[in-house]
Structure 1
Amino acid sequence: MSRRPSSRYSEMPMRVTDSRMSLINATPQNKDNVFGKLNIPKPQSTTSERRTSFFGKGIGAGGQRNSMFGAYGGPEKMKDPRPLHDKAFVQQCIKQLCEFLGERGFPGSVSVKALQSPSTKEFLKIYEFIYALLEPSFQMPTAKVEEEIPRMLKDLGYPFALSKSSMYSIGAPHTWPQALGALIWLIDTVKLFSGLREQGLLFSDFSDELCDLEEGTEYNKLFMEYCSDTYNKFMQGADTFEDEEDDYLNKLKKLYNVDEALLHTQQEKHAMLMEHVERLERESQTDRLAGKRTEKLRLQADLQKLQNYRCTLEAHKTGLENKAAGLAEELEAAEMQLEGLKQERTRLQHILEHQKFTPADIERINRERNELQQTVHSLNQSLEEAEQLVWNEEVNLSKTKEKAELKVAEYNKLGRKLKLIPQSAENACGHDFEIRTDYSATTITQYKTQIQNPLKNMMVDVEDECNRLTNVKLSLEETVEQVKSNIFDKENDIKQLKEQIRRVDQQLEHDMQEMAQEEEKWAAEVDSAETHKKRLEKNVTQGCEEAEEELKAAQQQYHVVVQETNEENRMVCKNLTDVFTSAVNHLCAVEKHCNEQLKRFDKMKEVIREDEADMKQLTDLVENFIKKANSL
């Protein structure tokens, strides 16, 4: 048995499903606080082979289990659910294989066309390259390759069988899809292995320690107790072991110091991530790439605007720095002047303290001081007014720049709509009509010469083209008027044709009525012929009966009245001959009349040839009439 407990120790069908052992599968690998981290158990492949029970057949609920030496059924062969015989799916797999080989630096040259039907040598080279990504020291065996490749795939866990015979003709249409499916599965394995190898932090606790905690004494003791208890209940017929699992799980949590709060937090985080994945899958129907491209273009436009604004701010910053440098120089000069004035004041104060002044000197000094103070005050006011004027000018300049930028942006937007911007646009004709945000005098003059003259020329061309199109429009309008008049004439012709058709329909209806009357006449004649026929048959029948009676009388008086009987027989034969002759003459007359009617029908066929359905009915009627006449 494996050292790592599985979710069920019996492969027999369970009477009650149990999903609680999935937490026990995540065996901790660190005694400090590993249960506080998100331990992800190794996912079982959805294409893994299903094995039958090792313990053989079991009995009903509550009964004892059989011995563990039951028959072992080998692995069931699984059918590949992938549509490997679908051409679109095969082309997608070939494209995926080609992209993977190109990304991983395949030494040979591969293309989608070459992978439609590769040779055995190319397949072995590709297989060796992909397998070397899993095991760098791998080398393709030189002998019995057709046996080694299926064996290696089976050892890796490939769930579908790859026959030995398919290795001999790997590029055949019936064998290449299976081999291609194996390569795609191998590529997925390489990607999964690379992803797990890149996530080293997830398994850092495993690689840091050389020993496995599952070999510890405490863990082995708990595991053996759990196995013993569950196996005893299993042999007694139990399928679930909830109490043992809870006890085992609690002991493991105590042994490894489980942080359930952190584990619950990680589970909530996993649920949130799964909801995010489902939302992204639901949003997969929308064209996210187009949205991202649109957002990219919008962000690029914003970035360009920010860069232009940054250049403007840098230029403004440079101007302000220059002004600040000038003001700093003026301030330094004012400070130096102030320092000189302080020194002069100190000197004058020293002189005032150590010398005697006359009242006139003091008055003069006070007057000069007042004058100097007024001068300083006026200079300060002038400086403030100058600074306010400079600030107003800068504000007006920034507003003017913003207005100019709006105008330039509107101009560039209109130019893009008219396909004049950029220089490679459809209507630009190689001219650069775009205005950029640099406002030097030379650039403004350059824009005037660069944009105004080509635009004037284009406006002249557009006016010429408009005039030409106006002329074309007028000619087309005249043509439309002519076509309308033609349509009116044709409508009149159609009305005349409809009137002719109506007249023909009336004539046809009249002819049909005449034919119906003639048919009634023919039906009356047929009825009279039938009546005459019946009368003749009745007369013949009566004559036969009389002849039979006379024959009986003649037989009784044979020898006496032989001559009289012969005479009567001759009279009867003559009468019958007359009757049949008259009947034949009548039939000939009827047949002649029918032939005349057929000739009339032939003439009428030329008139009503377009109406095939009616002609068919008339022909059937005539044929029936002829059959009846012939039957008479």
Structure 2
Amino acid sequence: MRGGRGGRVPNSRSVAPTPARKGYAAAASRRESDVSLCSNRPSSVSLSHAIPCPPISDRSYQSAALRSVNAYLSSLSTATLRPPLPSARDITKAFDDVLSRLDWPMPVGVASTLEDDLPSILSNLRCPVKLSKSALKAPGTPHSWPPLLAALHWLVQLARFRDYRSSSQSFAEGNNVLQYHFQSFALFMEGDDEAVKALDQEQFRQTEEHVAKLMATVESLEKEASDLEKRAEAIRSGPSPRETTEKERALLKDDIKKFDVMIESWKEKLLSAEKLLGEKEEGLDAKIRENQRISEENEELRKRIGSQVMNVRDAERTKKELQAMERDVAEAEIGRNVLEEKSWELEADIDRKLKELESLVEQANHTIKKLKLGCDFQYVLKAEGSSAAEVLGEDYKTVLKPFLNEAADETKKSSVAKLEEKIYLQQQSREKSILLDERKELLSILQKKIDEAEARSILLKREVDDHTSRCSAEAERMMKDRESREHQLLIMEEEAENFLKDSELKLQKSIRESDEEIQMCASELVALIDAVSEYKECMESLVGEIQADLSETTQAIVDAHKAFLSARLMSAGQSASLCGSKRAHALLTS
């Protein structure tokens, strides 16, 4: 039965490596093996141009080369070369260590090995430094050390390059896109469409994640750049330490001046209040004395009136005196009213002054607390007091005066100390001004560096933007490729469905044709079997006849041969007859 459509190679078969894989593996193996310097083949690069010989006699070159060699030997955890002239064994040991890194081991301490093998090794490695036999025979001498140091330095550089090449990754290891193409092509050649689709999806996912990471990195770099710009702007606009110290110093001076002014004002207010109270007390004493005098005069008048004899003239005179007294009493009442009004005004003034004194006392108590004089004295007003001492308290002078004197002394001492501190601060300000000038210069240098860093950040930002645009363009291109591949996959699926339908129709048609062919072949087979059976019967009869003829012919040949042999036996000797009979018997048996 004829087959339908030809399928691809199944996945279970082991697929031979493709040419791309072979080339990639060979390239990777070549990259790993190209660094090996133990090969005797000369480098193709060294044949293109001659390598210049280093300045062996230059002292600066010798010191730099010795530092480089010692640094490399210390990285290998081996003994370093002691300047200015190391020993021959240390030089041989250093050559052995470096050549062992280059896969050219050499026994340590054997002078003949250094003299015999080192020139050939250097010539195979195309070293530009030429060593004489005398330098190799006595490596620890002053005239032989510079060329040996130059050759050793050249070998160290070669070993470092080999270490770098052996430790670095290959081209395809860090290139995910190239590995993706290799894997995709390999899976395509194997015929695994599902794996190719899964690989495409995984690559798209990794690309999107990489783009997201790059965008996050760009955002973080932008934030960091903005933070750096803000810090730089704050450094530019912010005050210097000297300015902040001067501001604090000016604030302290202002506070001291304010306290001095406040203390003076409180002293003046207390003095004015004491004077006012004294004046009020004096006025009150005068009024009291006036009232006492008036009352005494009234008593004297009453006594005089009671002791005198009344007549008409006296009555008239008394009447006149009474009228005058009434007038005096009216005037006294008017004066008393005036005095009452004045007393009311005085009481109002006293209340107002008491309120002012209360506010002043509160301020004074608050100031005493602020001054921290070391005593718990507080002003307490007594409105019923008749004098300033009774109103303010009698012990304020005895209690507060010593503490005020101490505070004044301390203030003087502190002012002296502050004056000394001022002088010291002026010296410090001069020193700091010098330091400030130096820091200004340093700040200008830092400003230049900041400008350079800003320029670098701008360049980095531009590079990041370019990289982001490239990545976005690459992502768009990959998305377009993905869409085109999806479109191609849809077209291929439609073609596969159409092909499957056509194949099913062809299969049904081929099944019908094969059934018809089978029926025809079955009838032909039956006819062929009948013909074969007839032919077999015919051949059996023919074979029987041939066998009968053959047996008759054989018997005739045997009889004729016997007759011939008998005739020969009679003519030959008896021994020959025996041999002939044996041969004839052997022929008959055969």
Q: Name which one, 1 or 2, has greater alpha-carbon Rg.
A: 2
Normalising by structure 1, we get a TM-score of: 0.23
Normalising by structure 2, we get a TM-score of: 0.25
